Amino acid sequence: MAPRGVARQRNATQNSRSSGSMASTEILAIKQEPSPVAPIADRSVSLLSDTDNASSHLAADYSSRAPFGRSDAPTPSERLGEPGPMMREVRPRRNLPAYSPVTLDESFFDNNSYQDIGKKLKACNDTLGELQQLGVSHHIQLPELVLVGDQSAGKSSLMSGLANLELPRSEGACTRCPLHIRVSRSSDWSCRVSLRKDYAYQPPAGDVIDETDVTQQNPFFPWVKVSNNRALEFKTMNDRSEIEDVLRWAQIAILNDDKNHELFIPGSGAIATSTPIAEAAQSTRAKFSPNIVSLEIKGPELPDLSFYDMPGIFQNTADSRDNYLVNVVRNLSTEYIQHPSAIIMCLIPMNNDAENSSTFSLTRRLGASDRTIGVLTKADKLPENSNNEPWVKIMQGLTHQTGLGYFITSRPKDRDLEDLKEWEDKMFHKHLVDAWPAEFRGFEKRCGVENLKGFLSERLGKEFVKNLPKIKQKVITSLNHIKRELASLPELPENVESEVRSAMMKFAESARAGVDGFLESFNNPPASFRDCLLDMKPKFVLKDRTDSPVVEISDDESEAGSVAGNKRRAAVNRTPSKRPRNDMNGAATPSASFNGYIKPEEDRGSVTPQASASPAARRVMFPEPYAAFSNVGKSFRTLRAVREEIQAKTISGMPNRTPDKIFQDLVKEAVKPWNGPMEVFLKQTMSSLQTVLEQALGKALENLKKRSIYKESKKHIRQWLNEHHQQTRESLAQLYHNESSQLLTFNNGAFTLYQKEALDELQRFRYHMRMVAAGSAPSSRTLVPWESLSQDMRDKEFKKREADSANLGPDPFKREVEVIGYVRAYYRLAALRFADSVAQCLMCRMIPQIRMELSYHLEEKLGVRNAGPDIQAVYERLLEEDPAIAMKRANLKNQRETFTKALMSIQELETGGAEDTPELSQVTQAVTEGGYGDAMHVDEDEA
């Protein structure tokens, strides 16, 4: 029930109303009878002089030609001299046929009682548009225009005409998500595009969606409604030519819910500037979205209008995998049509039978016909010599009845806006288009987009004014409810900023001290890593297949073994070194737990541990965390295998020369496993560092461990360490690549020393094995470690070896032993170099960088580094005891901000924004003074 107008009496002249009967309404009850007044011929409410101090009262126009059962009861307003307004209850007569008011020459704003509201039509519709963009309609029913229709019903063309703008009319440009368009008058043209996200895209695994997934509980599957809707600015432009691209990119952004919308902004977004728009439109994450693209268009000669454009309803899809979209799109139109305050614009193309309109059938089935405007589109495509009687009957309100009648439009393609205006004027009003049948000439007032725009704008403004008191009251009630909800949440510390800042300072100090102490005591991990590399050296079998026992050496320090007399079996004994030898850089030699030992020989020179060997004879595992590498390097090569490789790689025609490739290949193979211990060393270091930092965090935030700040800080610290872990892995991988891809050293002095020591050891073992094989030495004799011998004993052994060499003859594997000595010497030098380089990368680069940047990084991640407008909310969120409470508080504050802006917009309309319309203020004042009391009080204090 809507009033025909509201006016304030300004002098002693009394308002009067006509006594004419109403066509489609009847007064059922009168609660207060007004004083008798004289009728006024023009059936309007007269405006009186401002100089008179007489009491104000309401007057209403009950025109006998009020269309479609629309009530003409007056809206409540303030009386200055009387106890209250006259209240009348008006009901529509449901049994009367709906019809198009083609005989009404006047607008419902033409009467004097509506002149003031007519002047403020722009302000009313602007305020309504602002409330819709704020998302208030999710909580409070607002009058709204909703454009619906089947696919190819001409929605894009009509939408362009209503917005007075060349909107995209290409296939699919505006049909994959709802569009909210708000147009209003302004001296300069501008278009502001924003995105409103009320749903999140959550597809099932594999992105396979079935029709059965779309249910009453999930009408837009796989889109799920979120508790806190977001309004995101997209782009504002002043050039009309940009709008098609911007609008299409905005839709692409809506359909890629998992990506930042700024990537798709034309002119600045990374995707928008590097990807063709057609390609981007084909590769969207979703094919449809219930989220909204909003356009706020201002410019000269624009109507004051706000409406929603729904994707067109369809029955089939090109791909059977998209069949679910049929129901999803229909559900979207259903939801908007079911809004009780929605005015529905239902499009029916005139090149098709009205009975075929799925959308019209839907509006009728949903009981929305009374608030539907039918729009017959594509009048220029009406078949020639066809029977036009069905369309005439529709316009007369005899068939396909709607509560708000019908309009006819014609928007041929390939014409600009001005041409289309002239076209409709020639066709509908000047009758210069022969193809337009004469039967429709009685409906000129209901033909053309311009007439439709005027009707919609006035109708929407009228509905808004009628409902304004109720809307304002609901906004204020919602604000009070939000305030009570905020007040019920657990208390936060008194000074949240001070609490957070103090905790961050304590952590920064504690973390720096912890990292400094960690570096000072960081000795054992690098040493263990170095020892592991040295103990992984290649271990060669020094007995050829013709010899009985097989010796395998596995240490650079001392090798000892006992030799059994049996050809197939040998007792194993190992004598660890107790005295470490200093290397060139002062580092200790590898752990003495991994000395060489003698193993039984198999037929082809392979080595198998003896099952009956004593525990002392079994190989000791590397210490943790390097135990997994205990067998690396074992049985690397036999002497004969080395000989065969030398022969295979010798260049033809160059005899008696050891090829360089044999050294390269053996070294690179020996070095290859280093990446394993390197990863373990890095992981162990990061784990220890994480422990240090988390201990520092626990100490600094001892009293805040139940608050979100502790959990979030812990999460960000771990993420920060993981980032450094990956960065350092890349740096270490480069070091590993350098060592494993090329044999290279310029440290000649160290290499020469290591080579001499390696050859001395190998030749001593070969001498011992050959003596045992020749029967010149007892097989039970234990080879004493070289470093355990005194200088006198070494001299004696050396002289004996020289003397025995004459009897043994030259070693047939002399060249192979020299190759092995070279490989072992280089391995030792490279392992020490690599161990130092890795430790240096961690201790001189990674850990200091973490120490220096952690505090800054943590504050930035927590959102407290730069004090923005929402910094107070950040502090409060960090000090919440439960993330769910923090989210609830944030949502409530967002809602409070939304409703506060909505109330300010309404108040601006009532007062400052409607200076020449004081009646609007009086309309809402009637509510605020109508007994609501404390419900209208809003406390803006922080909860």
Is there a contact between 684 and 838 (Cβ–Cβ < 8 Å)?
no
Tokens matching residue 258: 């998992």
Tell the burial category of 239 from Cβ atoms under 10 Å away from its Cβ (0-12, 13-18, 19+).
exposed
As a whole number, the mean pLDDT across the chain is 76
Name the nearest CA neighbour of 77 among 939, 656, 921: 921
Mean pLDDT of 174-189: 83
Q: Is the pLDDT of residue 919 over 70?
A: no
Q: Which amino acid is at 314?
A: F
Name the nearest CA neighbour of 459 among 507, 404, 499: 404
Is there a contact between 785 and 557 (Cβ–Cβ < 8 Å)?
yes
Alpha-carbon distance 465 to 128, whole Å? 10
- Residue 331, pLDDT score: 94
Is there a contact between 938 and 21 (Cβ–Cβ < 8 Å)?
no
Residue scoring higher pLDDT (111 or 629): 629
**Residue owning tokens 């960065």:** 727
CA angle 428, 433, 439 (to 5 degrees): 60
460 three-class SS:
helix
Continuous segment of H or E residues that includes residue 234: strand 223-237
Is there a contact between 185 and 301 (Cβ–Cβ < 8 Å)?
yes
**What pairing do the DSSP bridges indicate for beta strands 179-185 and 305-309?**
antiparallel
Burial 846-880 (b: 16+ CB within 10 A, else e): bbeebbeebbebbbebbbbeeeeeebebbbbbbbb
Name the nearest CA neighbour of 675 among 632, 611, 619: 632
N-terminal to C-terminal alpha carbon distance within the chain: 40
Is there a contact between 694 and 515 (Cβ–Cβ < 8 Å)?
no
Name the nearest CA neighbour of 154 among 360, 376, 369, 342: 376
- Residue 620, pLDDT score: 58
Name the nearest CA neighbour of 402 among 443, 366, 445, 373: 373
Alpha-carbon distance 137 to 182, whole Å? 15
Continuous segment of H or E residues that includes residue 176: none
547 three-class SS:
coil
Mean pLDDT of 163-170: 68
Confidence band of 167 (pLDDT split at 50, 70, 90): low
**What pairing do the DSSP bridges indicate for beta strands 292-299 and 179-185?**
parallel
Cis peptide before 625 (omega within 30 of 0): yes
Alpha-carbon distance 379 to 373, whole Å? 17
406 three-class SS:
strand
Residue scoring higher pLDDT (531 or 315): 531
Residue scoring higher pLDDT (224 or 27): 224
780 three-class SS:
coil
Continuous segment of H or E residues that includes residue 99: none
Per-residue three-class SS string for 324-392: HHHHHHHHHHHHHHCCCCEEEEEEEECCCCHHHCHHHHHHHHCCCHHHEEEEEECHHHCCCCCCCHHHH
Range with the poorest average pLDDT among 577-581, 637-641, 885-889: 577-581
Q: With the C-alpha atoms ordered 463, 464, 466, 467, is the resulting torsion angle positive or negative?
A: positive
Tokens matching residue 845: 């680069």
- Residue 790, pLDDT score: 87
Name the nearest CA neighbour of 521 among 689, 680, 679: 689
Name the nearest CA neighbour of 218 among 368, 332, 316: 332
- Residue 241, pLDDT score: 86
**For helices 155-163 and 449-488, angle between their N-to-C axes, nearest 10 degrees:** 80
Percent helix, strand and coil across the chain, each rounded to 5? 50, 10, 40
Alpha-carbon distance 598 to 610, whole Å? 10
Alpha-carbon distance 748 to 880, whole Å? 64
Alpha-carbon distance 498 to 540, whole Å? 67
**Residue owning tokens 């002392």:** 616
Range with the poorest average pLDDT among 233-237, 367-371, 573-577: 573-577
Task: Enumerate long-range contacts of 495-498, CB under 8 Å, 24 or more apart.
Answer: 496/872, 496/875, 496/876, 496/878, 496/879, 497/871, 497/872, 497/875
Name the nearest CA neighbour of 164 among 184, 146, 144, 147: 184
Mean pLDDT of 678-704: 93
Q: Is the pLDDT of residue 323 over 80?
A: yes
Burial 34-57 (b: 16+ CB within 10 A, else e): beeeeebeebbbbbbeeeeeeebb
Is there a contact between 728 and 839 (Cβ–Cβ < 8 Å)?
no
Alpha-carbon distance 880 to 896, whole Å? 19
Length of the chain: 943
Q: Report residue 63: phi and psi, to 5°.
A: -65, 140
User: What's the whole-model pTM score?
Assistant: 0.48
Is there a contact between 131 and 137 (Cβ–Cβ < 8 Å)?
yes
Is there a contact between 262 and 269 (Cβ–Cβ < 8 Å)?
yes
Confidence band of 293 (pLDDT split at 50, 70, 90): very high
770 three-class SS:
helix
Alpha helices, DSSP H, located in 812-943: 814-841, 847-862, 871-878, 883-910, 918-928
Is there a contact between 381 and 152 (Cβ–Cβ < 8 Å)?
no
Alpha-carbon distance 305 to 303, whole Å? 6
- Residue 780, pLDDT score: 62
Name the nearest CA neighbour of 198 among 281, 274, 134: 134
Q: With the C-alpha atoms ordered 475, 481, 484, 488, is the resulting torsion angle positive or negative?
A: negative
- Residue 82, pLDDT score: 43
Tokens matching residue 496: 């949240």
Highest mean pLDDT out of 111-125, 639-653, 925-939: 639-653
Mean pLDDT of 925-939: 40
Name the nearest CA neighbour of 269 among 240, 233, 295, 223: 233
Tell me: the pLDDT tens digits for 342-355? 899 999 999 989 99
Q: Is the pLDDT of residue 721 over 80?
A: yes
Tell me: the pLDDT tens digits for 438-487? 889 889 999 999 999 889 888 888 888 887 888 888 888 888 988 888 88
Q: With the C-alpha atoms ordered 796, 800, 803, 806, is the resulting torsion angle positive or negative?
A: negative
Of the CA atoms within 13 Å of residue 416, those in its CB half-sphere come to: 3
Q: Is the pLDDT of residue 885 over 50?
A: yes
Tell me: the pLDDT tens digits for 379-430? 999 888 888 999 999 999 999 999 999 999 999 887 888 888 899 999 998 8
Tell the burial category of 301 from Cβ atoms under 10 Å away from its Cβ (0-12, 13-18, 19+).
exposed
Tell me, what DSSP letter sits at residue 773?
Answer: H
Mean pLDDT of 266-295: 93
- Residue 811, pLDDT score: 86
Mean pLDDT of 156-161: 86
Q: Is the pLDDT of residue 122 over 80?
A: no
